[in-house]
C-alpha cells in the first residue's frame, strides 16, 4: 500500500548543488538567447561533470541537437540517457517542442513506451521534506514556508535554492512538497489538478496540525508557482503571504481560467513575484501582478532584463527582505 503523504526530515547530501544549478542557469540563458551550439557544448560538459543526473543532462543535449536539426544525434542522446538509468514518459517527450523532428520516428516512440512501462511499475506518493535550523525549539512558533517545485522538478533540487534562508533566519521552517505525479526518473509535475489540490491540502493540513505556526507563506517555482497562486486565490488554503518565482502563466485569459469563482472575496495576502524579461511567460507575470493589484492586494514584482525561465540569483536575498519587511 502506498502512503498518501511521506514526511521526511531534511538531511544534507554530497551533491554540489550550487555548481549544478549554476550550470543549468547558464545553459537555460544560452537557450533563450538562441545560442544553441554553445548550449550544446555546455550540456555535454554537464554530462561529464554530473553523471548522477542523466535524466537532465542527456535531455538537455537531445533538445539542443533537435534545435540544430540533428535527428540522429538527438535520438542517440536520449538512448544513451536511458542506458545510464534515465527515462521519460511519452507524454513528457511529446510535450517538448525542441524534439519535434523526432516525433514521427518509431525509435523515439519506443523510448516513450519504455518510459511509460517503467512508470506503470512505479509506486509513488507525495513527499513532504521538512528542513529547519540547528537551534529549532519545539516550544516556539515559526514562520512556515511551504514550497512547490517546478515542472519536471523534485524536492532535492528545489531545496538547494531555499535552504540558505535557514542561515539567515532562526524563525523559519522550510517545507518542500514533491508531487506524486511522475514525468520521468526523479522528475515530478503538477499536471493533474484534482490530485495536485488534494496533495497540497494534505501537506498544508499536516503542517497546521503538527507545527507551531506564527505565519504561513506559500511559495512555488514555475508550474509550482502557478499552483500556489491557484490554491490561494481560490481560497483552498489560507496563507499570509505568497511567493511566485517565474510563474508559468502566459496570459490574462489563463488567469481567468484558473480562478474558479470570480465573484468570491480573495483572502488578504501579500505577494512577491520574480520574472525574467526573456521568459516566454514574462507577459503573464506582468498580468498576474496587475490582477492582484486590481483586487486591492499588495504585490511586488522583480523584473530581470537578461533572465529567461530561470530562478534569479538574488532570489533568497529578496525573499528574506520580503519576510523581514512584513514580520
pLDDT at 22: 83
Measured CA to CA in angstroms, residue 151 lies from 29, 172, 201, 225, 235 at distances of: 18, 25, 19, 10, 23
| pLDDT score recorded for residue 11 | 52
Range(s) of the chain covered by CATH 1.25.40: 17-121
- State the angle between helix axes of 315-326 and 155-162 in degrees (0 to 180), rounded to the nearest 10: 70
Q: Confidence class of residue 81 from pLDDT cuts 50, 70 and 90?
A: very high
CB atoms inside a 10 Å sphere around CB 212? 12
Q: Which CATH architecture has domain 127-326?
A: 3-Layer(aba) Sandwich (3.40)
The predicted-structure confidence for 314-326, as pLDDT tens digits, reads as follows: 999 999 999 998 6
pLDDT for the residue 12: 53
**Residue 201, pLDDT above cutoff 80:** yes
| Distinct helix (H) and strand (E) counts, the chain | 13, 10
More confident residue, 146 or 296: 146
**Confidence at residue 28, expressed as pLDDT on a 0 to 100 scale:** 87
Between CA 18 and CA 273 the distance in angstroms is 23
- Which segments of 126-189 are extended strands (E)? 127-132, 142-148, 172-178, 181-184, 187-189
Mean pLDDT value of segment 131-156: 91
* pLDDT at 14 (0 to 100): 64
Please compute the mean of the pLDDT values over residues 162-188 and round it to a whole number: 92
Report phi then psi at 12, rounded to 5: -75, 155
Residue that has been written with the C-alpha cell 520516428 in this structure:
105
Q: How much of the chain exceeds pLDDT 90, in percent? A: 71
> Would you say domain 17-121 falls under CATH 1.10.3470?
no
What pLDDT does residue 8 have? 54
Q: What is the mean pLDDT of the chain?
A: 90
Work out the burial of residue 4: count CB atoms within 10 Å of its CB; fewer than 13 is exposed, 13-18 middle, 19 or more buried.
exposed
Q: What was the pLDDT predicted at 7? A: 60
Please state the pTM of the whole predicted model.
0.83
pLDDT at residue 290 tops 80: yes
Range name among 122-136, 183-197, 206-220, 300-314 with the lowest pLDDT average = 122-136
Domain limits, CATH 3.40.50.1820, in the chain: 127-326
Long-range contacts of 281-287 (CB under 8 A, 24+ apart): 281/246, 281/247, 281/248, 281/249, 281/250, 281/309, 283/250, 283/251, 284/247, 284/248, 284/249, 284/250, 284/251, 284/254, 284/255, 285/244, 285/246, 285/247, 285/249, 287/249, 287/251, 287/252, 287/255
Mean local confidence (pLDDT), 161-168: 89
Amino acid at each position: 500500500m502506498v502512503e498518501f503523504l511521506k514526511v521526511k526530515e531534511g538531511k544534507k547530501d554530497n551533491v554540489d548543488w550550487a555548481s549544478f544549478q549554476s550550470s543549468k542557469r547558464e545553459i537555460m540563458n544560452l537557450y533563450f538567447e538562441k545560442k544553441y551550439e554553445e548550449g550544446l557544448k555546455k550540456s555535454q560538459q554537464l554530462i561529464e561533470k554530473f553523471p548522477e543526473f542523466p535524466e537532465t543532462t542527456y535531455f538537455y543535449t537531445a533538445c539542443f541537437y533537435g534545435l540544430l536539426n540533428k535527428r540522429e544525434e538527438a535520438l542517440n542522446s536520449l538512448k544513451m540517457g536511458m542506458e545510464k538509468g534515465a527515462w521519460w514518459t511519452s507524454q513528457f517527450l511529446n510535450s517538448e517542442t525542441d524534439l519535434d523532428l523526432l516525433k514521427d520516428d518509431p525509435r523515439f516512440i519506443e523510448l516513450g513506451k519504455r518510459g511509460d512501462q517503467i512508470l506503470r511499475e512505479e509506486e509513488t506518493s507525495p513527499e513532504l521534506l521538512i528542513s529547519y535550523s540547528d537551534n529549532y525549539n519545539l516550544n516556539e512558533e515559526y514562520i512556515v514556508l511551504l514550497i512547490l517545485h517546478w515542472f519536471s522538478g523534485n524536492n532535492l533540487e528545489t531545496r538547494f535554492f531555499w535552504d540558505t534562508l535557514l542561515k539567515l533566519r532562526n524563525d523559519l521552517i522550510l517545507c518542500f512538497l514533491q508531487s506524486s505525479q511522475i514525468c520521468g526518473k526523479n522528475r515530478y509535475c503538477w499536471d493533474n489538478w484534482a490530485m495536485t489540490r488534494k496533495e497540497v491540502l494534505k501537506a498544508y493540513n499536516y503542517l497546521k496540525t503538527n507545527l507551531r505556526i506564527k505565519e504561513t507563506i506559500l511559495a512555488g517555482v514555475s508550474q509550482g508557482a502557478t499552483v500556489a497562486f491557484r490554491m490561494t486565490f481560490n481560497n483552498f488554503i489560507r496563507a499570509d503571504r505568497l511567493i511566485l518565482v517565474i510563474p508559468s502563466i502566459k496570459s490574462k485569459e489563463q488567469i481567468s481560467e484558473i480562478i474558479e469563482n470570480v465573484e468570491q472575496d480573495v483572502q488578504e495576502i501579500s505577494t512577491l513575484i520574480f520574472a525574467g524579461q526573456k521568459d516566454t511567460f514574462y507577459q503573464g507575470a506582468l498580468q498576474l501582478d496587475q490582477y492582484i493589484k486590481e483586487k486591492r492586494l499588495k504585490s511586488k514584482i522583480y523584473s530581470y532584463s537578461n533572465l529567461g525561465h530561470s530562478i534569479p540569483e538574488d532570489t533568497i536575498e529578496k525573499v528574506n527582505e520580503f519576510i523581514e519587511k512584513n514580520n
